[in-house]
Amino acid sequence: MDLLDNLALGFSEALQWHNILFCLLGVALGTAVGVLPGIGPTATIALLLPITFGFDDPTSALIMLAGIYYGAQYGGSTTAILLNLPGESSAAVTAIDGHQMARAGRAGVALAVAALGSFVAGTVATVVLAVAAPPLARAALAFGAPEYFSLVVLGLIASIALASGSTLKALAMIVLGLLLGTIGQDLDTGTPRFTFGVRELYQGLSFVAVAVGVFGIAEILRNLHDPRTRTRMVSRVSKLWPSRSELRRIVGPVLRATGLGSLLGVLPGGGHVLAAYASYAVEKRVSRNPGEFGHGAIEGVAGPESANNAAAQTSFIPLLTLGLPAHPVMALMVGAFIIQGITPGPGVMTEQPALFWGLIASMWIGNVLLVLLNLPLIGLWVRMLSVPYSVLFPVIVVFACIGTYALGQNPYHVFAVAVFGVLGFVLVRTGCEPAPLLLGFVLGPLLEDNLRRALLISRGDPTVFVTRPISGVLLGLAVLALVVAVLPAIRRKRDVVFAEDE
């Protein structure tokens, strides 16, 4: 009964007209920044954070900022599907099959599946957030530095299952991503590493510059290089809604991904990224037709989209119950709490119950608003495919450059987009897929940080990674995944997943 009473309190707060208005504003703005290449929720929330100081009601401010975050997860799939241009790392997985569906004239189906999967996952994850916040937060507390290091290693090794062709090339892309992640100042000492005297590299490479370059600009170069791909991209859109058989096909992936994302979203760092990649790997393994993956499998869209949206909701669990941010956006949410004079942590649930449960209830309302916003716009988004390439390419490049420049108002980031665009094109032409590279780049700093912390805590004893039970199990699974990937019998059966052409 306490849960029902708390939810009733939350909905009574969230359903006030001004909170609904701010929720709508947040999800609409989040969808917009997700659709626009190069602009993400982190930059948007950072820009709007000072404005929240003037809000009389802290609940309204937090509802709006939260809406921007999970709204961007919806919008991020749009450009990933239509233009193969993911603005968020988790959307890179959606682009694999979503863009292939768009090329085949099924962009409407892909967008509808992404929206429906996101709604179901977001709704279920909100219930998980309300019911299981305390126990899940306690489970996350069991993870120390060795466990996080082992978890990241497992995620990186598992990503080999997503790569095409050579296992060695997939490992090389992961290592290259890890090396790119080390560029900048040392995490502990501040000593510049691999900067070659270039001051702009002291803060490290921008994720947006790397992602837009190796996916978006490289895709443009690839299409310009091969005119045949251009004719495929602008195929006539046959329908805007999935059939009954397609809806039945996505039920299992959506449910599995929702559970997976709800669990991984609690973990700090790249939980939503790992959720999307893990969901794709799981769906490829359990599919009766794994050969479809990479060539327009509807499960390859439903799974990752559901997983990253579920993780986006449950990433609020450590923030609301422990005051610990799971990733940069949650760190900005901590700043929003502090601006409003509220200390995030266990005290919020008891001292500010209307805010705590109102924020949770607003997420369900926000998911409903997102579906009402996104489904009617599917027809508008797919019309982008009919725009001539002579117009579409310059527009994509301009928006990508504007979004990248706006993040730090640094022209160097625009040059970085160009460099990584050429690099991405070269990698694709040589049979090396960029998605494992991006995963390594995103998770590299987390891997390094937890490696150092674990060795400091254990006084330099590397056996700490195998003597702690959870860490040892995760490393064992990583070794098993690597062995399975390199076995000749398995390697012969590996399917081309990331490659977009036969």
DSSP 51: G
Domain boundaries, the chain: 2-501
Indicate if the alpha-carbon torsion angle 408, 412, 414, 417 is positive or negative.
Answer: negative
393-437 per-position pLDDT tens digit = 787 788 778 767 776 677 888 888 889 889 988 988 888 877 778
> So what's the pLDDT on residue 24?
92
413-444 core/surface letters (b: 16 or more CB in 10 A; e: else): bbebbeebbebbbebbeeebbbbbbbbbbbbb
Q: Quote the pTM value.
A: 0.65
> So what's the pLDDT on residue 494?
45
How many Å apart are CA 437 and CA 159, to the nearest integer?
A: 10
How many Å apart are CA 424 and CA 437, to the nearest integer?
A: 10
202-258 per-position pLDDT tens digit = 888 877 788 778 877 887 787 777 655 544 443 455 566 788 888 888 888 999 999
Q: Tens place of pLDDT for every residue, the chain, 502 residues?
A: 577 787 888 888 888 888 999 999 988 888 877 776 555 676 667 667 767 777 778 888 889 888 888 888 777 787 788 777 775 667 778 888 888 888 887 888 888 888 888 888 888 888 888 887 666 555 656 778 888 888 788 877 876 754 556 778 888 888 898 898 889 888 777 788 888 888 878 888 877 788 778 877 887 787 777 655 544 443 455 566 788 888 888 888 999 999 888 888 876 555 677 788 888 888 888 887 777 887 888 888 988 889 888 888 888 877 777 666 666 677 777 777 877 778 776 677 777 888 888 888 898 898 889 888 877 776 666 665 566 767 767 877 887 787 677 766 778 888 888 898 899 889 888 888 777 787 788 778 878 888 888 888 888 888 888 888 888 888 888 888 777 767 654 454 444 443 344 3
- Alpha carbon separation from 482 to 75, 206, 444, 491 (Å, rounded): 34, 30, 18, 11
Cα angle, residue 68 at apex, residues 392 and 414 outer, rounded to 5°: 45
